[in-house]
Amino acid sequence: MRFKEQLIIVGIFGRQVLEHSLPLVARLIEERTEHLKSQLQKVFAHTYSISDSAQTVNLFEDLHWLLLVTGEVTANVR
C-alpha cells in the first residue's frame, strides 16, 4: 500500500483523541454520502455534466480515504 505509513500515523493520532476524531469522521462520511446521493440523483435525472464528473471522482477519493482512516482508527489498536 502506497501510503501505509501515513495512514498508520493518522490512525495513531485519531486514537489519541477518540472523543473528537470519531464524531468528526462520522460527520464527514455523512456529508460525503449525502453529496454522493445528490450526484446519483443527477445521473438518474439526466442532468449530470462533465464538471459533475470531476466532482464525483474527488468525492470517491474522499470517501475512500475517510473509510480507510475510519478503519485504521477503530480497528487497528497497536
Q: Report the pLDDT value the prediction gives residue 26, as an integer from 0 to 100.
A: 95
Q: Report the pLDDT value the prediction gives residue 50, as an integer from 0 to 100.
A: 81
Over its length of 78 residues, how does the chain's per-residue pLDDT go in tens digits?
789 999 999 999 999 998 999 999 999 999 999 999 999 999 888 888 888 888 999 999 999 999 999 999 988 665
* Global confidence as pTM: 0.82
Q: Report the pLDDT value the prediction gives residue 51, as an integer from 0 to 100.
A: 82
Please provide the DSSP assignment of 10-21 as one string.
HHHHHHHTHHHH
> Which residue type occupies 48?
Y
> Which residue type occupies 61?
E
Q: Which three cell numbers stand for residue 27?
A: 460527520
